[in-house]
Amino acid sequence: MRNKGGALIVGALAVALTATGCNATTNDGGGGNSGEAKTQSGSISYEAADNTGPAKAVDGATKGGIVTSMYPADFEHLDPARNYVNLQQLTGNLIYRSLNGYVEDGTGKMLLVGDLATNPGTDVNKDCKVWEFKLRDGLKYEDGSAISSKDIAYGIARSFAPELNEGPHYIQQWLYPGGTYNATYKGPYEGNQMPAGIETPDDKTIKFTFADPHCDMPYAAALPTSAPVPQGKDTKGNYDLRPFSSGPYKVKTYTRDNLLELERNPNWDANTDPIRNAYPDGFKFTFGLEQQQISERLVADAPADQASFGWGDTPPAVLPRTTTPNVANRIAKGPTQYVWYLGVNNLRIKDKKIREALYYGLDRDAALKAIGGSSAGEPASTLMSPTTAGFVKFDVYNAPPTGDVNKVKEILGGTTPPPMVLAHSNTALRTAQAEAIRASLEKAGFKVTLKAIEATSYYDQVGRKNNPYDLYLHGWGSDWPTGSTIIPPIYDGREIVDEGNNNLAYFNDDSVNTEIDRIKTLPAAEQDAAWTALDKKIMQDFLPEIPAYYDATHEIYGSKLGNVFLSDAFGAIQLNKIYVKP
Amino acid sequence: MLRFITRRVLVGVVTLIAISIIVFGLFFAVPSSPAKVMCGKNCDAASIAAVETRLGLRDPIAEQYTSFMKGIFVGRTYAEGTAFEQRCDAPCLGFSFRNNEAVTSILGRTVPVTISIVFGAAILWLLIGVSLGMISALRRGTLFDKVAIGISLTGASMQVFFFGLILLYVLVYTSGILPFPSYTPFTDNPAKWAQGLILPWITLGFLNSAIYARLSRAQMLETLSEDYVRTARAKGLPLRRVYTKHALRAAITPIVTIAGLDIGASLGGTFITETIFGLRGLGKETVEAVSFLNLPIVVATVLLAAVFIVVANLIVDVLYAVIDPRVRLS
């Protein structure tokens, strides 16, 4: 799962830490009038037209200008081996290219296409076990040297190094299944130069051989892990500061915690790139302002800030000022890939009837109001987010957003549910939200006690099997926009371990597990509908936990920026097709 | 004088060592693991152990402390013998746990910001505060005195986060009279440096000047009622000479003490001011480091803040002797 936002958002007097592990840590800033949820129609395209550069021109767009991003905290990592946060990935996308990438146009249509590769990968034996990628002609680094498939292999090899362990590890785990991904091979710095299962027969070809079928490989190849890193340019721990450019921009200056400046990479050839238009002459990523200051400045739209945008959610205090016409037309809002759930510990609440009663008892509107009103998201009824490919909205229980007390009573039929403990992260927003949820459940006849847990250890505690809590708030977002990084990690009961669980409902059902296995072997294009069907089945037959709301984002931008829209793949303003108005 | 300074410096060094030990101790008393914060996702026990080894967090606390102190004087090498070996030259304060940047480089960036804020503001608050207070005392009971007291009461009652935000709202967000505060090194462009810091100066300057105005007024009034001042006046000394030569010098001594301590403490970080005006100085860096369990930065910034206080105290003591001949350094 990809984390949303930077690792930290500094509050006026408090710092929210990113949870380690794979659960969502949103920037808790409220924000996001999410009334415009759109259905994601993403897919993998092998069409030559989609896979051939240059990227389709944006109407009215002009080249030139500098786009400025304002964000409270500096990036943690830009090194492709360590880049696992959406905003870092959006930024990294400007500097380096992966094997695959997403073409988006802001309408909800998202295509996975070849980026460095000529197409999203060839399933050599049609069993999803051997994947081959051919690189395009004319690919160059910032120094004009040619990009080789061996550099991609090296990039993946170094991501095995324990010192560079922060990135996604799908391909690594698939190459070394069973056990920790780097238990055997520990990167090129110790012993073996290359991991097993990767071949580069020539400079244009890279082939992956897995023991098991992985039909999701085209999506995994879109993660930064497959960005090329020339061995001679590998500065190891310092690569974060200056990744060697294979994309349209290169690092000009980088002062940690203050400013990252990108300038054009003259050796990037637009004709080799179907994804990026690269209209601006450069980007400035500024760090250090509070989110409220950023939003105030963007609302004010002073001349110096007109080509700027903010990646953080607009704080509730500024939201009322964003409705005037000259601000309202400068808002990018919509759902992110995150869904927040009222997690139910199935080891304690075993009766589906009680979980169903909780579903109706939860006042989703109140839970949202506590963190910024309807701007923070919209009530959820599915396990997967609206940004997931093939998403179809359904509500098998048809509960009103404010809950239905009568239905709760009807389901419980006069029986008294057991008293419950609702655990929550001890931040101001989550505490307020937990209180709102407690109030709504008590109104419906449940007895709920709150338990605040420090933010830094929250997911550790609720991720412990046999934890003493009945209910807990938790979020989850996918690594790529299909159900395969949502349903298996959080509902495959075979993955439940003593500590560090992602399956926080502690839900385990053989029929679901078997179906997960089956879907994984389907061709990627067929998986979308299958995951959606499984989502519905889980909700209908088991209801392991309660989807509370779809997380939304609400971002402001300056009046001189054009073609600003939220990337569905990353849940924030995209940079590939943005431009500065003259 | 030299003996006095030497003794005070030695006491200062002992104080700093004691503070560094306390910070180290306190840090490890917190039941959180910086390795866990750093480890990122897919974090398992082996990864945490690897990070802890790399950071030296698995060594006994005493060893970690001596390595840290040794690094200050002779430098040190991290992850020695591995591909990720990293040399940190003296004065080595370590590397940030969060992004591996040298702490000295972080301080080199943040300290000038705080110094610029504090010195600019201090000049304002001393100039405005002391002048207002003195004139009020000399014109006791007049309209000027009453207005000055009113202003100082208002200033003393306000908070930085309130006054600062109002200034931002009026002068930046709505009218656009001033650009949003920013920091440009003085050596790069003095005009831009001043323009970027004018709001924090005004904010801190106005609020602190209120206290100084009240203090100066009270001190001056007390001094003016002293026998020697009355004697001087009775002997026919011109008023100007009585006030400047005799009264002012005596009245200003306690103000110097307070100013020295205030400036010293502020140099350790003006977190709220820095936060409100989006300036990344020592205060903001420290608070963030504490939240991230970023030990090297916490130790370095706390030590630096302590250095500022110790040095400010020393300067105040020396200034005492200069201002007030009755005080002898011994």
| pLDDT tens figures, B257-296 | 889 889 988 988 789 999 999 999 999 999 988 877 788 8
Q: Tell me if B41 and A296 make a contact (CB, 8 A cut-off).
A: no
Looking at every residue in chain A, the average pLDDT score rounds to: 89
CB atoms < 10 A from the CB of A362, how many? 29
Identify which has the larger pLDDT, A263 or B233: A263
Residue A41: the pLDDT is 52
CB atoms < 10 A from the CB of B111, how many? 18
Residue A42: the pLDDT is 61
- Alpha-carbon distance A302 to nearest alpha carbon in chain B (angstroms): 7
Task: Tell me the C-alpha distance between A309 and A294, whole Å.
Answer: 9
B221 and chain A: CB distance < 8 Å anywhere?
A: no
Lowest mean pLDDT, pick from A232-241, A252-261, B85-94, B239-248: B239-248
Residue A69: the pLDDT is 98
Lowest mean pLDDT, pick from A313-327, A367-381, B51-65, B306-320: B51-65
Which candidate in A165, A169, A240, A287 is best for mutational testing of the B interface (most B CBs within 10 A)? A165
Task: Tell me the C-alpha distance between A97 and A89, whole Å.
Answer: 11
Residue A461: the pLDDT is 87
- Mark residue A335 as left, alpha or beta (left: phi above 0; alpha: psi -120 to 50; beta: remaining): beta
Task: Tell me the C-alpha distance between B251 and B228, whole Å.
Answer: 13
Lowest mean pLDDT, pick from A305-319, A451-465, B19-33: B19-33
Q: Residue for token digits 């410096």?
A: B9
**Structure-block tokens of residue A508:** 């385990």
Q: Tell me if A456 and B54 make a contact (CB, 8 A cut-off).
A: no
Percent of chain B with pLDDT over 90: 33
B43 and chain A: CB distance < 8 Å anywhere?
A: yes
Element at B285 (helix H, strand E): helix B282-291
Residue A25: the pLDDT is 40
B72 and chain A: CB distance < 8 Å anywhere?
A: no
Residue B48: the pLDDT is 78
Q: In terms of DSSP H, where are the helices of A507-553?
A: 510-520, 524-537
Q: Tell me if A293 and B36 make a contact (CB, 8 A cut-off).
A: no
Residue B329: the pLDDT is 55
Which candidate in A256, A286, A464 is best for mutational testing of the B interface (most B CBs within 10 A)? A256
Which among A21, A181, A255 has CB closest to B41? A21
CB atoms < 10 A from the CB of A12, how many? 13
Identify the burial level of B324 via C-beta atoms within 10 angstroms of its C-beta, where 0-12 means exposed, 13-18 middle and 19 or more buried: middle
Q: How confident is the model at residue B43 (pLDDT cuts 50, 70, 90)?
A: low
The closest of A525, A519, A440, A455 to A487, measured between CA atoms, is A519
Q: Is the pLDDT of residue B70 over 80?
A: yes
**Structure-block tokens of residue A500:** 């560090």
Strand A205-209's sheet: what is its strand order?
Answer: A122-123, A130-134, A205-209, A198-199
Which among A76, A257, A290 has CB closest to B275? A290
Which among A3, A8, A258 has CB closest to B280? A258
Task: Tell me the C-alpha distance between A194 and A157, whole Å.
Answer: 6
**Structure-block tokens of residue A506:** 């502690």
Lowest mean pLDDT, pick from A5-19, A32-46, B32-46, B103-117: A5-19
Is residue B11 within 8 A of residue B317, CB to CB? The reply is no
Residue A36: the pLDDT is 40
> What is the tens place of the pLDDT at every residue in A99-134?
999 999 888 788 999 999 999 999 999 999 999 999
Q: Tell me if A256 and B174 make a contact (CB, 8 A cut-off).
A: no
Strand A66-71's sheet: what is its strand order?
Answer: A249-255, A259-264, A282-287, A66-71, A308-310
Q: Tell me if A74 and B99 make a contact (CB, 8 A cut-off).
A: yes
What is the rounded average pLDDT of the residues B299-315? 88
| Nearest chain A residue (CA) to B178 | A302
Lowest mean pLDDT, pick from A352-356, A487-491, B321-325: B321-325
Percent of chain A with pLDDT over 70: 92
Contacts of B308 (CB under 8 A, 6+ apart): B264, B265, B267, B268
> What is the tens place of the pLDDT at every residue in A517-556?
999 888 887 898 999 999 999 999 999 999 999 999 999 9
Looking at every residue in chain B, the average pLDDT score rounds to: 86
DSSP letters for A217-228: HHHHTTSGGGS-
Residues of B whose CB is below 8 A from A161: 83
Residues of B whose CB is below 8 A from A84: 40-41
Lowest mean pLDDT, pick from B85-94, B122-131, B137-146, B314-323: B314-323
- Alpha-carbon distance B37 to nearest alpha carbon in chain A (angstroms): 7
Q: Is B115 helix (H, G, I), strand (E, B) or coil?
A: helix
Residue A32: the pLDDT is 32
Q: Is the pLDDT of residue A499 over 90?
A: no
What is the rounded average pLDDT of the residues A316-338? 91
> What is the tens place of the pLDDT at every residue in A338-380?
999 999 999 999 999 999 999 999 999 999 998 877 778 999 9
